[in-house]
Amino acid sequence: MDEREAGSGRVWLVTGGSSGFGRAIAEAALARGDKVAATARRAERLEDLVSEAPERAYAIALDVTDPEGVRRAVDEVLEQFGRLDVLVNNAGHGQVGAVEETPEQELREIFDVHVFGPAALVRAVLPVMRRQGTGAIVQMSSFGGQVAYPGFSAYCATKFALEGFSEALAPEVAPFGIKVLIVEPGAFRTGFSGGALAQSREMPEYAGTVGPTREMITGIDGTQPGDPAKAARAIMTALDSEDAPLRLPLGPDAVEGVRGKLDSVRADLERWETVSVSTAFEAPRG
């Protein structure tokens, strides 16, 4: 493991770096002596981060849904620091609404932010990391990337997509010395349940199924059990490991949620196995 892989002198590109997980990861990286290029739609929201370490922190204005902006951002990092070791695809927001409540435009917009934006960033950094022979891509998913609940269809669909994309990506880039880490947080004290939460127009027909989800997600704002700073340290620990996991659930709720999903999938698989395997084509006799 070289010096950068061990956490000394790495260069990070962190999207959505002005608050929440992005800010916590940026601060943790700077505390280790690393260099950080943090992005936000409004770069002035990163001024306090840059002031903490002006020689090692750099702010970039970026809307991750702008492909040209993505390319410029990666070029800026290379111009500023000369290399890029870790990409953290963190920019995003929450969304709650039943399938019927969520219009086409809202669905497309959240896919742009959570799937197409991260995909563009991955494509932009891979040539750099391949040339270096080392790198890491951190995909900030959610335990909602494996478990879906009423009212989170759009949000969970994007995280399921991001996880499938990343699961295929990992073996593609492993021969180049590039790690992929999918992070699956539960409820953490970020803006997810507050200002960063988009809510589709409510329909009374879904009050019984989606209503409780709306009440839960807005009701926990500011009291979520997870600490973003501890999440950042857990991510650093995983990245520094020789046998880093592909997926890293964070928080007891995430661990329990993922475990329950795995148990449910296995139970269905075993209960319906006879029907599932009975569909093989049988060649005609004679």
pLDDT > 50? residue 3:
no
1, part of any domain? no
Residue 154, domain CATH: 3.40.50.720
Q: Which of residues 6 and 140 earns the better pLDDT score? A: 140
Confidence of residue 150 (pLDDT cuts 50, 70, 90): very high
pLDDT recorded at residue 143: 95
183, part of any domain? yes
pLDDT recorded at residue 285: 84
Give me the domain span that covers residue 55.
Answer: 11-252
260, part of any domain? no
Paired with 265 in beta bridges are none
263, part of any domain? no
Per-residue pLDDT reduced to its tens digit, 102-118 = 999 999 999 999 999 99
> For the stretch 52-88, what's the b/e string if a residue is b when 16 or more beta carbons lie within 10 angstroms of its beta carbon?
ebeebbbbbbbbbbeeebbeebbebbeeebebbbbbb
Number of independent structural domains in the chain: 1
Confidence of residue 225 (pLDDT cuts 50, 70, 90): confident
pLDDT recorded at residue 8: 58
76, part of any domain? yes
pLDDT recorded at residue 191: 76
151, part of any domain? yes
274, part of any domain? no
pLDDT recorded at residue 1: 36
Predicted TM-score (pTM) of this structure: 0.93
**Unique residue bearing structure tokens 């061990």:** 6
Q: How many angstroms separate the CA atoms of 87 and 77, rounded? A: 11
Residues marked active site are found at 141, 155, 159
Look over the chain and give the mean of its residue pLDDT values, rounded to a whole number.
94
pLDDT (average), residues 178-207: 90
Per-residue pLDDT reduced to its tens digit, 37-61 = 999 999 999 999 999 999 999 999 9
pLDDT recorded at residue 165: 98
Burial of 170 (0-12, 13-18, 19+ CB in 10 A): middle
Nearest to 188 by CA among 153, 131, 122, 143: 143
Per-residue pLDDT reduced to its tens digit, 158-190 = 999 999 999 999 999 999 999 999 999 998 888
pLDDT recorded at residue 189: 85
pLDDT recorded at residue 218: 87
pLDDT (average), residues 197-213: 95
> For the stretch 176-215, what's the b/e string if a residue is b when 16 or more beta carbons lie within 10 angstroms of its beta carbon?
eebbbbbbbbbbbbbebbeebbeebeeeeebeeebeebbe
* % pLDDT > 70, the chain: 97
267, part of any domain? no
Residue 45 in contact with residue 18, Cβ under 8 Å?
A: yes
* % pLDDT > 90, the chain: 86
Helices (H), 151-210: 153-173
pLDDT recorded at residue 6: 43
